[in-house]
Structure 1
Amino acid sequence: MKLLLVDDEPVALRFLSGVLAGRARTETAPDGASAVAAFARALDQGEPFDAVILDIMMPGMDGIEAARRIRALERGRGREGACRLLMLSCLDDAEHQIISQYDAGADGYLTKPVDSADLLAALANLDLPENPLDGAE
């Protein structure tokens, strides 16, 4: 399983990478623009990401816009919805959850601070191919 982890906070990226170490191949990006570029590069190389974990609030291109662009890249390549998107945010309100799901095409939403059990459970529920997280506790 190949995951792209996106957050502008280095501590958050280290946490995500640490939780997923040995469970998935991961790549990190510090912002939305870098995430979209990494996603496009992976598609071009024929090694697409199975899932992207995106922080919503980032400077420059936020996670919502990055998710929209990732979905547009998928549509343009005939891979619509092939990648799962999991949004992370310190915002625990229905508006951002609805925007993430319906406007940006996210498959899940977790509120920070995220603990490892919730992260693993959310990923296990995304129906990813060859998911070593199935049944993770």
Structure 2
Amino acid sequence: MPTNLDLTQAIRGKILAALKADTDLSAVVAGRIYPQAVPATLTYPYIKIGSPITTPQFIDGGDGCDYSAAIHCFTKKKGGALPPEEMAMAINAHVVRILNAIEVSEIGDSLTLDIFPRQAQTMLDGDADSFHGFVTFDASAS
């Protein structure tokens, strides 16, 4: 059962919902936005949330947690209108915009959630036709 000291599911759920609700991002990835597990047969481009690190907070006897993770995108030459490197960069830009737009909101039992994008990177992913982009972020529920 989740507690205010580990809001992993609630935070990931809020982020996934924001990504899936964004029409500009959906136009690029066609709704292929996943938690860590992805389908056995993949269509490119797609997004997944990486493995989170959750740290409990104990502030003045209260509770909450800090959450860090990355949102990954994967592109291939045959998977879209843009070249795969440019597509990964464009997806990263959408992700940063969406994370920045998530309002401070209530989460858990009377806590507020803030999300802070930290870095975006795009790199060649195994072959010349594939790229991997990711945006790291921190979140705080306190």
The alignment's TM-score, normalised by the length of structure 1, stands at: 0.34
Tell me which protein shows more helix as a share of its residues.
1
Q: Larger C-alpha radius of gyration, 1 or 2?
A: 2
The alignment's TM-score, normalised by the length of structure 2, stands at: 0.33
Tell me which protein shows more strand as a share of its residues.
2
